[in-house]
Homo-oligomer: A and B are copies of this chain.
Amino acid sequence: MVTFASMSLPLILISNDDGITAHGIRVLVEEMQKIGEVIVVAPDKPQSAMGHAITIMEPLRLKQSFIFEGVTAYECSGTPADCVKLALDKICPRRPDIMVSGINHGPNSSINVIYSGTMSAAVEAAVDGVQAIGFSLNDYSIEANFEHTRPYVQQIVQKMLEKPLPYGTLLNVNIPNTEFIKGIKVCRQCGGKYAENFEERVDPTGKKYYWMTGKFINLEPEDNDTDIWAIENDYISVVPTKFDLTSNSVIQHLRQLL
């Protein structure tokens, strides 16, 4: 039996953290227009590394944007998570069938996921019960080439529309910066951290200030079931990601201790 709802085009909400004018979001919009009805609510300026920040101390602005032909789009003064909250409450005419975030200029593999504005937009949608995927390209440059990502982005979104994930899970997809992609690997978040090395400088008045610089350290370089391994070996990494942060394996130990 085909219901009216299943005959209509899926509603696809799009956001990102590089801002509405970034190249990565344009590629995502173009690909999603082939699948469904698209609504964009994205930051009016870059919001990288915003983590899951939300704006509670000041009001938010929305401004209609006409940069994507035939697409309802708004630029928002807030964070990626703000964009999704506002979109779901004020812009979307019905619940989106899926929310896609990105395509980020730069990877969100390993520990990057906790700093990622791209992923925070997707997490926000998932918490609200909307299927969600964050897409990132392993290339930080503003002129990054996204052409090779197109068929994979299409394919992964289509699969998620056909077989939605259970509540509590979304996807973190990282795409290598090569045209010679070997395939898709479903894998786990690699253990990793940054070795920070703040660069100390002195301003013209003699006061110190610090620039954050850091070098990523792979804590599991031998393992071949991680997202970092996949990307380094020219596979697209797909990590099912959750927002229940409970470390269940430690609960019994703690009950004895406390």
Count of chain copies: 2
Partner of A90, one of B62, B81, B166, B200: B200
Compute how far the CA of A100 lies from the CA of B166 in the bound complex, rounded to whole angstroms: 34
**A111 with B238, Cβ < 8 A, contacts A52-B51, A60-B198, A169-B250 known:** no
Are B52 and A52 touching (Cβ within 8 A)? yes
**How far does the Cβ of A78 sit from chain B's closest Cβ, in whole Å?**
9
Q: Which chain B positions have C-beta within 8 A of A165? A: 250
| C-alpha spacing A243/B119, complex, angstroms | 14
Residues A50 and B51 in contact, CB atoms below 8 Å apart: yes
A53 & B54 in contact (Cβ 8 Å cutoff)? no
- Which of B55, B59, B128, B166 is within 8 Å of A201, CB to CB? B59
Interface size class of A (residues with CB under 8 A): 35 or more
| Contact indicator B114/A56 (Cβ below 8 Å) | no
CB within 8 A of A257: which of B54, B111, B159? B159
Question: Which of A59, A168, A240, A245 has the most chain B CB atoms inside 10 A of its CB?
Answer: A245
Is A143 located at the chain interface by the 8 A CB criterion? Answer: no
A212 and B55 contacting across the interface, CB-CB below 8 Å: yes
Q: Which chain A residues numbered 23 to 58 have a C-beta less than 8 Å away from chain B?
A: 46, 48-57
> How many Å from the CB of A203 to the closest CB on chain B?
9
Note all chain B residues with C-beta closer than 8 A to A189.
244-246
In the complex, the answer to whether A210 meets B169 with C-beta atoms within 8 Å is: no
A81 and B53 alpha carbons, distance in the complex (Å): 12
A-B contact pairs, 19 of them (CB 8 A): A46-B57, A49-B55, A54-B115, A60-B211, A81-B115, A82-B212, A86-B198, A89-B196, A89-B198, A114-B123, A159-B257, A172-B245, A186-B251, A188-B251, A189-B244, A239-B245, A240-B246, A240-B248, A243-B245
